[in-house]
Amino acid sequence: MGAGVVLDTSFLITLADSNRAHHDTARKYWRYFSEQGLPMFLPTIVVSEFSIKQMIPPDILRGCVVLPFNWDDAIKAASFDFSKVDRQGLSRDALKDDVKIIAQAVVKDAALVITDDSASFYKFAQQLVTTGAAAFRPIKLEDGFDISFLNATGQRELGLQTDEGESE
């Protein structure tokens, strides 16, 4: 498995908006990725989606590696044939962008993808992992911060508390 984490648009929105339900979890993951020196890949598709409502904050942008959508990404996205996916009421455009971001994670050989979209992005990513089409681990913010999502062994935290009251 590769290294790095591909950031989904919903993760970025949640990280930037303190009013979102999983904002604290997004901040914990961001801090962990930064402290561990884990490359955080920011697809240009995410930049496009996020920038519809606001510009990406400079402190977030500085921590990311911009990931352009290239030929190999396009071919991989086409191979997923999302036209056969049960969209469950989702717009075709939203699913197309999810597929492209996930294809980039596969081509980049990312270790992780992270999202706050458990209804579509996470489900499609998990489906690809289950079928063997992807080797990354998808993380959804609604599950909270858990170190076991980030290591190859799945080892869970011991539950020790730091001075700030967070688990180590």
Give the amino acid at 158. Answer: L
For the segment 130-158, what is each residue's pLDDT rounded down to a tens digit?
A: 989 999 999 999 999 998 878 765 555 55
Residues 6 or more apart whose Cβ sits within 8 Å of residue 98: 8, 117, 120, 121, 124
Predicted structure pTM score: 0.85
d(CA 98, CA 82): 10
CA distance 158 to 168: 8
Q: CATH classification of 6-149 is 3.40.50.1010, yes or no?
A: yes
Phi-psi region of 166 (alpha: psi -120 to 50; beta: other; left: phi over 0): beta
137 backbone dihedrals φ, ψ, rounded to 5°: -105, 120
Kindly list the domain boundaries of the chain, sorted by start residue.
6-149
Q: What stretches in the chain show pLDDT beneath 70?
A: 1, 82-94, 152-168
